[in-house]
Each structure stands twice: as structure tokens, then as C-alpha cells.
Amino acid sequence: MNPQPTLPSRGMLIYFTVCALAMIWPGALVANRIEPLVIGLPFFLFWYVAWVFALFVGLVITYCRDGAQEVDDE
Amino acid sequence: MSDSLLITTITLAYLLIVLAVGLRARHGQSSSLEGYVAGGRHMGLLVLFFILGAEIFSAFAFLGAPGWAYSKGAPALYIIAYLALAVIVWWLIAPYISRLGRRHGFLTQAEFLSACYPTRGNLLGLFIGVVSVLAMIPYLTIQIAGAGLLFEAATSGTIPFWLGSLLACGVVAAYVYASGLQGIGWTNLLQGVMMVCVAWFLGLATADQFFGGVGEMFRELQREAPEYLTMPGANGMGWGAFSTAILVSALGCVMWPHIFMKFYSANSERTLKRVFMLYPLYSYLLVPLLIIGFAGVLLLKDRPLDSPDQVLLTLVVEMADFPAWLIGVALSGALAAAMSTAANLAHTSATILVRDVGQHLPALRDMADDKALRLTRYGVVLIALAAYLLALANPGSLVALLLGAYGIVVQLLPMLLGALFWRRASRSGAFAGLAAGAALTLLFQFGVSTPFGWHAGFCGLVVNAAVFIGVSLATSSASSRSPVQALGPQA
């Protein structure tokens, strides 16, 4: 058994940090407007919906990379 | 049949189904404490996903979240943001918790932390146990009171508050008593599906019925009250308050004992990562609920609500033209959110009371597994009863107790991260950080206002981490192992 679980790569950690910064100050400042409405949602609301999806994609990539590296200890 | 009778019948039928599913699940479990508390560490992807979803989405999702959109507007998005970001923290921490739990037989959060930072007489474990229970009982009370309110409003008083909350509380106590985490798992699956369907249906149908669609609704809101659609919202929540609320909620979420302890129950680390990978999508459940809150801004312009939390009920039950059976189904979905969280809280509090607090009583020291299991089950019933009585009494200090106790629980995060990732983390540093962070959080929560309007817990975390790092560097010599690595291969 590996003594330590594998952590996400440096690149993915940077990606997650970007996702976090996009949802708070200062990242969210750029999206603080109503126009354009996207899929019926004001832009500020759509911004959050989109970043949640970006985070999901990042986690999928991290998971797939993990799977290639480690054999589960179960 | 009159409308309120039909609504009552449908909701009672739903409760019966939940009860049946919960009781049936008892056949699947082993009769050990580990089986009862952590599902024998064999929980799979589907059930674990819905447990983590259902326990986070509480009565707040259907009452408080639309209330935020209705009264404040855009700042309500903090809920979506923190739920999604919390997953990053889970991803980093949970595999360690799961692995070490399996290796050393941990079942609670306090056991993990007190193994990393041993104290004489295990005082740290006792402290964490007591504070967590103090945070969870008011939280449970709020769920049970929420269930009572939902019942009373949706049945127009046919089921009064005391009876509605008693029904919800009784059903939860019965299946948690009988089936432990297995019961919670299968009922949370059912309740999770129910609340997702109900939330999306209500959100889209409300926008459609009153405005002809979501886009049309937001266009009208843009004309009538555009301040609701961007920061700082209708009553001016600053970027500092908004951002620090997101950060502290995302970081602190993992420290809720009922979430932390679920990491022990996964059948493998791979399962945990699959759950987390899908988890951000669960936060989309809030989009339709926020839409209802935004609809309320326009629809209730002429008669503002005293309590913003009533916005969903007012729109769905009083104003929209939904058939009675649909209101019954909607009520069931909202009840699902309250009850699924309540089940996890009662189960976790009882476990903590027996494992972390009970072992300090001479009569309960080194008790046998079957005795601990029996006591934990009685604990579930006792705690549910206590929360029900508190819901009836409704003491005004309940929310203050919840905020205060949870504020302290969040301050355990730096010492947890230190134990996992930092070789120089020292015990004196951890305790000094905890004391400083907790004191500062309580001071900001109940005394003075925070600098720049930042979240009290966030200020506490910053100071906590700084003191922890400073004292650790000053007291400990460079070690080659972090506290977790020093635990060794076996307990």
C-alpha cells in the first residue's frame, strides 16, 4: 500500500485555484453585469453555472489521470 | 376530497414509503458498531453520492436559499459557489481520512484529530465531541422545525406544526434506529432524487406560469429591479463579505462531523473520488430554487414578506395555480431535504456522544462493541426527541448556539491540514492556533464587527493558521514526519 494518497498534479491545483478565484473577488468582478443573458440567465448567474461546470471538467481530468497512475489499494 | 386533505394524504404516503425503504435497509447490514455507523466501510458510489448530496441540502435549500435570492438577490450565489468549491477540499483530504480510518479503526472526527495530537485523558477528543454535538443539535432542531412549518403551510393548517414536526422526526428516528447508515443511504437516495425533481419542476413551472419562461422573467426583473441581478445585490453585501463567506464555507464544510465521518464509510478511495467528481453538478439543484426567489421579487413587490424564508411556500402554495396533488408532491420534496439532513445529524450526534463523550464516563470505558451499538441506537432516539422538544420550545438562542459552536468546529481545520501535510506541525502550535481562532471567531460573531465586513470565521481561520505556523516553527525541531505519518502503520 502506498503510504500517501496521490495529490492532484501541480497543473490541476493551479486550475482549481483559478476556478476558486473566478467565483470570488477579484475574478467575479469581470462578470458583474446582467447583459448578455445566456440560456435565459443573467450573465452574473450564468458565470457561476459555467464555472461549476469547469470545475467538474477539471475533476474528471484529475480522476482519469489518477486512475492511470495508481492501483487502488482495495 | 378537499385540497388540503389530498395534500396531506400524498405527503403521508410519501413518508410511509421513506419509512418502508429505511426499515428494509436493516437487512443489509452487519450487526457491529462499524456496520451501524460507517456501513461497514462498504458504501458504494451511488448511495454515497446521494448521502453527501442529501445531507448538505437541508431545509435551508427550499426555505433559506430562495429567501436569500428574494431579499438580497445576486449574493445568494455564494451558496452555489461554496458547494462547488468545497469539493476541492474534500478531494485533497478525504482519501487520507478514509485510508487512516480503515487502518486505525477511526469512526469519528475527534478520534482522528486526537490520535494526531494526543492529550492527557484525551481532553481534545472530549472537547471536539461536546462542541460538535452542541453545533449539531440546534441544526437538527432547525430541520425538524422546518418540516413542521412546511407541513403546516402546505396543508393550510390541517396538520399543525407540532404534528408535522413530530411525524417527520418520528419517521427519521425510526429508520435511523433500525438501519443506521444503510437506512440513511437508501432513504437519502430516494429523497435526493425527489428533491432534485421537485426543485427543477417548481423553478421552471413557476417562471413559466407567471412570466412565460425563465428568460422572460429575468428580462422583466432587469427592467423593474436590476439591482437584484448583480453584486452588491439589493441590500449591499460587499465583495469582501461575499468572498470570505464563500471561502470559509467551502473550507469549513469538510469539518462538519456528519460530512467528515462519511469519508470513513466509502468502500474505496476510488469511490470517494468518483463521488467528488460528480458532486459539483449537485449544486445546480440551487439554480431553480434561486429562480423562485427572484420570481418573488417581482410577484411580491406590493406586499413584501415579513420573513423572506416564506417566499417559496407563498408562491407555490398561495399564488401559483398548481393542482393539489402537485403541491403534495412538492411538499414531499421539500420535506425530503429537511429529513435527509436530520437523519444524518441524529446518526452522527449519537455516534459522537457514545464514542467521544461517553468513553470519559467511568461506567462506559472500554465497553464492548454490542453495548456501544445499543447505546448509539438509544442515542439516536434521545437526540431526535430532544430536538423535537427544542423545536416546540423554539428558544431564541438556538441560531446563536449553532453559529457559535459551528464557528469553533471550523477552527479545527488548520490543525487537520497540519496533521496531514506539514512535517513541522506541533501540538502546542495546533492548540494555540485553535484557541486564538476560536476566541476571535466568537468575539467577531457576538461582539465587535469584523474589519472590512469580512466573515467572522474567515478572520478566525487566518489568525488561527498564523498562530499555528508561528508557534510550531518556534517550538518544534524539524521532523521528518507529519503527525499523520507519525501514527505508524497500526494503531
pLDDT digits (tens, 9 = 90+) for B299-337: 999 999 999 999 999 999 989 989 999 999 999 999 999
Average pLDDT, chain B: 92
Residues of chain A with C-beta less than 8 angstroms from the C-beta of B74: 44-45
The domain boundary, picked from B376, B410, B444, lies at B410
The domain boundary, picked from B410, B441, B463, lies at B410
User: How does residue A6 score in pLDDT terms, banded at 50, 70 and 90?
Assistant: confident
For residue B453, is it left (φ>0), alpha (ψ between -120 and 50) or beta? left
User: Which residue range is the domain that position B209 belongs to?
Assistant: 3-410
Measure B490 CA to nearest chain A CA, in Å. 12
Measure A18 CA to nearest chain B CA, in Å. 11
What's the one-letter identity of residue B132? S
What is the pLDDT at residue B398?
83
Q: Is A52 on the interface with B (CB under 8 A)?
A: yes
CA A11 → CA A18, A66, B72, B229, B280, distances in Å? 11, 13, 37, 34, 20
Would the CB atoms of A49 and B287 count as touching at under 8 Å?
yes
Would the CB atoms of B74 and A49 count as touching at under 8 Å?
no
Alpha-carbon Rg for chain A in angstroms: 17
With residues binned 3-state (H G I as helix, E B as strand, rest as coil), the percentages for chain B, rounded to 5, are: 80, 0, 20
Is a pLDDT exceeding 80 seen at residue B30?
no
Partner residues linked to A41 by β-bridges: A38
Measure A36 CA to nearest chain B CA, in Å. 11
B81, B87, B229: residue with CB nearest A23: B81
User: How does residue B1 score in pLDDT terms, banded at 50, 70 and 90?
Assistant: low
Do B47 and B161 have their domain in common? Answer: yes
Do B355 and B265 have their domain in common? Answer: yes
Q: Is the pTM of this model over 0.90?
A: yes
Distance CA A62, CA B38 (A): 27
What's the one-letter identity of residue A33? R
CA angle B344, B52, B293 (to 5 degrees): 95
Residues of chain A with C-beta less than 8 angstroms from the C-beta of B99: 5, 73
Do B394 and B343 have their domain in common? Answer: yes
When divided into structural domains, chain B yields a total of 2
Measure B286 CA to nearest chain A CA, in Å. 10
Distance CA B313, CA B271 (A): 37
Average pLDDT, chain A: 87
Half-sphere exposure of B9 (CA within 13 A, CB side): 8
Mean of pLDDT values over B390-402: 88
Phi, psi of B414 (to 5 degrees): -55, -40
Do B205 and B324 have their domain in common? Answer: yes
User: How does residue B485 score in pLDDT terms, banded at 50, 70 and 90?
Assistant: confident
What is the pLDDT at residue A70?
57
B229, B284, B485: residue with CB nearest A44: B229
Interface-testing mutation among B97, B204, B270, B480, with chain A (most A C-beta atoms within 10 A): B270
- Reduced to 3 states (helix: H, G, I; strand: E, B; else coil), residue A38 is strand
Mean of pLDDT values over B349-378: 90
By C-alpha distance, the chain A residue nearest B288 is A41
User: How does residue B11 score in pLDDT terms, banded at 50, 70 and 90?
Assistant: very high
Would the CB atoms of B283 and A62 count as touching at under 8 Å?
no
Mean of pLDDT values over A32-36: 92
Mean of pLDDT values over B447-461: 91
- For residue B483, is the peptide bond before it cis, meaning its omega torsion is within 30 degrees of 0? no
Residues of chain B with C-beta less than 8 angstroms from the C-beta of A74: 267-270
Phi, psi of B93 (to 5 degrees): -95, -45
By C-alpha distance, the chain B residue nearest A58 is B277
Distance CA B449, CA B453 (A): 7
Distance CA B71, CA B58 (A): 19
What is the pLDDT at residue A72?
47
- Please enumerate in sequence order all residues whose Cβ is within 8 A of that of B75, keeping only pairs 6 or more positions apart, or say none: B68, B231, B232, B233, B237, B242
The domain boundary, picked from B394, B410, B426, lies at B410
> All 3 cell numbers of residue B122?
484525551
Distance CA B123, CA B128 (A): 9
Is a pLDDT exceeding 90 seen at residue B410?
yes
Do B315 and B440 have their domain in common? Answer: no
Do B313 and B416 have their domain in common? Answer: no
Do B266 and B292 have their domain in common? Answer: yes
Measure B232 CA to nearest chain A CA, in Å. 9
By C-alpha distance, the chain B residue nearest A14 is B88
What is the pLDDT at residue B490?
56
Would the CB atoms of B269 and A5 count as touching at under 8 Å?
yes
ipTM, 2 decimals?
Answer: 0.91
Residues of chain A with C-beta less than 8 angstroms from the C-beta of B280: 52-53, 55-56, 59
Do B235 and B283 have their domain in common? Answer: yes
Do B349 and B430 have their domain in common? Answer: no
Do B70 and B133 have their domain in common? Answer: yes
Would the CB atoms of B230 and A66 count as touching at under 8 Å?
no
A23, A42, A56: residue with CB nearest B85: A23
Do B377 and B472 have their domain in common? Answer: no
CATH code, domain with B323: 1.20.1730.10
